[in-house]
Structure 1
Amino acid sequence: MTPALITETKPEDWTYVSEGGVTIVFLYRGPHNVQFSDHVLRLRKVAHGLSDSTLLGTNTEQPDDPMIAFQENIISKLVPSEFLPSLTVVVLDEVWLRSLVVLRDGDRPSKRRQTDQIDIRRKKGVLATDLIGGTPIAIEIKPKWGFLPTECHLSPESVTLKTTTCRFCMHTSFRMEQGGIGTTYCPLDLFSRDEPRVRKALGALWAGWYESGGSLNNLRLFVEGRMAKPDDDHSMQLLAHFFTTDESTDIQNLRESFTSALAQALLDSPILPLLSTLQRTLDILDVEGLSKLYTQTSSSSSCDGLGSSVPDPSMEEWKDFVEVYQSDHHSLDDTVPSPGHLRYYLMAYLLSATFKDCSIIIRPKSAHVGSFDATIIDMDIKSMDRLWKWEKLDREIVEHYENSGSQRRCIDSQRVRQAVCTQLSKWR
């Protein structure tokens, strides 16, 4: 299939939707076009003053965005296709991209504009299924980490904290100390499969969205294809029209209606249990155990950071990894990991990070509250050079939490169920 050409559209046909740390998303709003209608454009970003040196050659063919091959060859082997968006290649044009920046950069959050920009040197981008347009509302939830680590690879200093308080809640405390916005949301409530806890998590997400003016990225609401903000009366009226019976914009009533509708949708969907299982089985050592194994195995200087001397996997290696994960993973002795399996564990941790950082888009199947569809998005490949940064951040978060005096208790329902089953088996 011939790739679509972005120059078949005008920059003004595209409106800003949202962005993350790596990509920025625009929604097609132009005249009907077979290739572009009902699609969004996902563009890579780059820090100000930087550009990917591999892309500088203007006469060489650039590869497709790796997100496409990664989903097609790796993610689709682990996640059923009905929960994934379609991804196709679009050929970009630098002049066109410059015009888009002029038109839409002002729509971006100021903090994002200060940090990075669209990478105008890219020759290829991604067209993805439009999951927010063509529907009265869409909800994006970034669940984050859905499990507590096992004890066997944790240090004496961290074991009690890490098996009592989840990573997200500790990280929230850390960010608040640095001036960030707080939230009472705990991912383990959302992943619990227990309706009162799921409702509690959704209520906390709503409160964080409302109190932060829509700036916290764990919950985003879209109405008529545009990001909604709590101070926008039109957005709130549309949300009330969809979620409530009396169309009241009373914030407490709207919050309760929202949590009720979404709780049932999530309880009916297999997506959260799937994400939790993938996260915990891929991150079986915790970054501490991974670091110990790397130190024991690496021939590099001991001052090298975790993964710093390890090349990124090729797509063929990722394919081989998935085969091993699906066939032989449970035969590995994770309590005493073999140095010969170091690269497997490094790749597993990277893939776990992909599932920890993804988002879920929830949209109604009809114009009224009832049944919903859920799709997993934002599943980028993570790079080995991120590992040492994550290890450093992990230490900082745990040290801060230990010194903060906080004692939040997070309950991992799956671990509780496993412990009960283990105890029962001992009595048989």
Structure 2
Amino acid sequence: MPLSSLPPPSSWQYTAEGGANLVLSFAGPSTSPYAGYAMRLRKRKLAEAKANAGEAVHGEVETSFGRDIVAPLLGQEHLVEMREIALERTWLEELATCMRAAVDEVDLNARVGVLVEDLIAGDGVLAIEIKPKWGFLPNPAYLSATKAPTKTSHCRTCMHRFYKRASGAAEQQDGFCPLDLYSGDEGRVRRAVGSLFSSWESSGGAINNLRFFYERKRVSPDELQSAVHPLKYALVACDSSFDGTRARLTDLLVSALFASPILRTLATLQATLDAFDIEGLVSLIQSCDTAMRSSPANDDLERNLASFAGAQPSLSDWRAFLARRLPLLSRAAQCTSLAERHALRDDMAGSLRRASEEAGSARGAVLAYLLSATLKDCSLIVRIPLGAREPGAEKDVVGEGAEVQIMAIDLDPKPIQRLGKYWRMDGEIVECWRERLERMTDAERAEVRRCVE
């Protein structure tokens, strides 16, 4: 689509945003070629615009990464097609006047936006966005003796949530454990969804782990309390109370997740690509580089880690990596048991270690870790066409002939410059959790739930 045909900013409405991107839905005429599309635009944090300048990923890699690298692993049916569209600064400046700028702003230097299918649009369409997080415990073979007991008993997400709360962030109390969500056990999956729902309700819908959209509009807990919200007319619920609506939404989400293999595949790929944990990965990098071994100080290690790992991967780097590793990674979709997942993870660790020793570089293991980081940070959109409903109309579970879809989004490649940050954060998170347990009595520690794959 040529730039001249790009509709004005007034034709786009704010939908949602993540840490790096702003999402706008096209709200113009249904006859426009942009109808049914959303646009992702890069953001920048005002306080960090200069500090993070080196972390930008080239646009070609960002837009082709999903199609060429992630789709062969998760399946093209779970990814939306992305297309670049050229942008001009004047268009972005006009858009920016409508957007908040207290913390972040539209990146006025962006030269391309990304057009994707608008998964939340459509008459009678319920879209549930869920961020499943890390779906595994790390490989104990590559953990330090001091951290292994903690990291093999408590998942990264549960520990990270406490770390952020201890640092002053407005995080929810203990509850959602992603290992429940990934477990394949209906009771545990329902517990995970229930915890997410409770956090969504208590936060006023502010958490990014769970979001609801109906006919393109985001739904808040307060709106769901309303007896006349149109979503309630489209749902089959025992009653129109908030609890009745919550129960129906939970049933729909759990049923959709159980009907799809995507969570199982996602967890297996995450664990397989992160075969060493960040601890083992850093040790592998050090073993391949004499200079790294001679600079053991933590500050130096964090600062120099990315430079020893190499330049930001290009699209050709990623394609070469996948071509070599796809025979192993393609087994992820067939892993139906924890034992099979662990066997695949161990096979990948052995393969990456041998390749590092032969090449004198841990580059392949670094790319595997970065790809795992992308999959750990993705979101899922569960798209359920309910069909438009009026008060008193006969209600169906979904619209006639409708198909429930689960699509993975937010699959951007991670900057290699963050490798040092990942290593530092891992140590801080584990230490914060250990200090928490040490402050507890034996009885209190016994009440802390262990995370189980």
Q: TM-score, normalised by structure 1?
A: 0.86
Q: Deviations over 1:57-108 (max 9, x none)?
A: xxxxx974532111222112212111111111211121111111112x14xx
Contact 2:126 2:385 survives alignment (8 Å) = no
- Separation in structure 1 between the aligned mates of residue 413 and residue 133 of structure 2, nearest angstrom: 16
- Separation in structure 2 between the aligned mates of residue 95 and residue 267 of structure 1, nearest angstrom: 46
> 1:240 Cα shift?
3.0
Name structure 1 gaps, 5 residues minimum: 55-61, 107-112, 413-428
SS, match of residue 114 in structure 1? coil
Name structure 2 gaps, 5 residues minimum: 330-346, 388-395, 438-444
- The letter for the 2-side match of 1:308 is S
> 1:228 Cα shift?
1.4
Residue in 2 that maps onto 1:355: 375
Residue in 1 that maps onto 2:391: none
Mean CA deviation greater in 139-148 or 322-331: 322-331
SS, match of residue 140 in structure 2? coil
Residue in 1 that maps onto 2:319: 319
Residue in 2 that maps onto 1:274: 265
SS, match of residue 205 in structure 2? coil
Q: Deviations over 1:177-221 (max 9, x none)?
A: 123221411100100111111111111111110000111110011
- Separation in structure 2 between the aligned mates of residue 271 and residue 153 of structure 1, nearest angstrom: 27
Contact 1:6 1:90 survives alignment (8 Å) = no
Residue in 1 that maps onto 2:350: 333
Contact 1:181 1:212 survives alignment (8 Å) = no
Does residue 136 (structure 1) correspond to residue 125 (structure 2)? The answer is yes
- Separation in structure 1 between the aligned mates of residue 243 and residue 164 of structure 2, nearest angstrom: 27
- Separation in structure 1 between the aligned mates of residue 228 and residue 434 of structure 2, nearest angstrom: 40
- Separation in structure 2 between the aligned mates of residue 307 and residue 93 of structure 1, nearest angstrom: 33
Contact 1:7 1:92 survives alignment (8 Å) = no
**Structure-2 change in CA distance of 1:46 and 1:65 (3 Å):** farther
Does residue 116 (structure 1) correspond to residue 98 (structure 2)? The answer is no
Within a 5 Å distance, the mapping from 1:223-262 to structure 2 comes to: 223-232=214-223, 237-246=229-238, 248=240, 250-262=241-253
Within a 5 Å distance, the mapping from 1:126-275 to structure 2 comes to: 126-134=114-122, 135-179=124-168, 180-183=170-173, 184-232=175-223, 237-246=229-238, 248=240, 250-275=241-266
**Structure-2 change in CA distance of 1:269 and 1:236 (3 Å):** farther
State how many pairs are aligned.
396
**Structure-2 change in CA distance of 1:342 and 1:15 (3 Å):** same
Residue in 2 that maps onto 1:58: none
Residue in 2 that maps onto 1:377: 409
Within a 5 Å distance, the mapping from 1:293-312 to structure 2 comes to: 293-300=284-291, 302=295, 303-305=300-302, 306-309=305-308, 310-312=310-312
Contact 1:4 1:35 survives alignment (8 Å) = no
Mean CA deviation greater in 144-153 or 173-182: 173-182
- Separation in structure 2 between the aligned mates of residue 14 and residue 235 of structure 1, nearest angstrom: 29
Q: Deviations over 1:4-60 (max 9, x none)?
A: 427531211100011111111000000134531100010011222637879xxxxxx
RMSD of aligned Cα (Å): 2.5
Contact 1:6 1:93 survives alignment (8 Å) = no
- The letter for the 2-side match of 1:39 is Y
SS, match of residue 165 in structure 1? coil
**Structure-2 change in CA distance of 1:262 and 1:331 (3 Å):** closer
> 1:246 Cα shift?
4.7
> 1:255 Cα shift?
2.2
- Separation in structure 1 between the aligned mates of residue 270 and residue 382 of structure 2, nearest angstrom: 20
Does residue 75 (structure 1) correspond to residue 89 (structure 2)? The answer is no
Contact 1:152 1:335 survives alignment (8 Å) = no
Residue in 2 that maps onto 1:417: none
Residue in 2 that maps onto 1:28: 26
**Regions of 4+ moved over 6 Å:** 51-54
Mean CA deviation greater in 365-374 or 305-314: 365-374
Residue in 2 that maps onto 1:57: none
**Structure-2 change in CA distance of 1:291 and 1:332 (3 Å):** closer
- The letter for the 1-side match of 2:397 is V
Contact 2:181 2:188 survives alignment (8 Å) = yes
Contact 2:132 2:209 survives alignment (8 Å) = yes
**Structure-2 change in CA distance of 1:272 and 1:212 (3 Å):** same
Mean CA deviation greater in 28-37 or 233-242: 233-242
> 1:258 Cα shift?
1.7
**Structure-2 change in CA distance of 1:172 and 1:229 (3 Å):** same
Does residue 403 (structure 1) correspond to residue 391 (structure 2)? The answer is no
- The letter for the 2-side match of 1:382 is K
SS, match of residue 89 in structure 1? strand
Mean CA deviation greater in 402-411 or 285-294: 402-411
Contact 1:279 1:355 survives alignment (8 Å) = yes
> 1:335 Cα shift?
9.8
Q: Deviations over 1:249-296 (max 9, x none)?
A: x33222222222211110110110111111010000000000111122
SS, match of residue 200 in structure 1? helix
- The letter for the 2-side match of 1:24 is L
- Separation in structure 2 between the aligned mates of residue 158 and residue 147 of structure 1, nearest angstrom: 16
Contact 1:4 1:89 survives alignment (8 Å) = no
- The letter for the 1-side match of 2:176 is Y
- The letter for the 2-side match of 1:153 is Y
**Structure-2 change in CA distance of 1:362 and 1:236 (3 Å):** farther
- The letter for the 1-side match of 2:301 is D
- Separation in structure 2 between the aligned mates of residue 365 and residue 251 of structure 1, nearest angstrom: 21
- The letter for the 1-side match of 2:233 is H
Contact 1:294 1:307 survives alignment (8 Å) = no
Residue in 2 that maps onto 1:283: 274
- The letter for the 2-side match of 1:79 is L
- Separation in structure 2 between the aligned mates of residue 278 and residue 4 of structure 1, nearest angstrom: 38
Contact 2:238 2:244 survives alignment (8 Å) = no
- The letter for the 2-side match of 1:80 is G
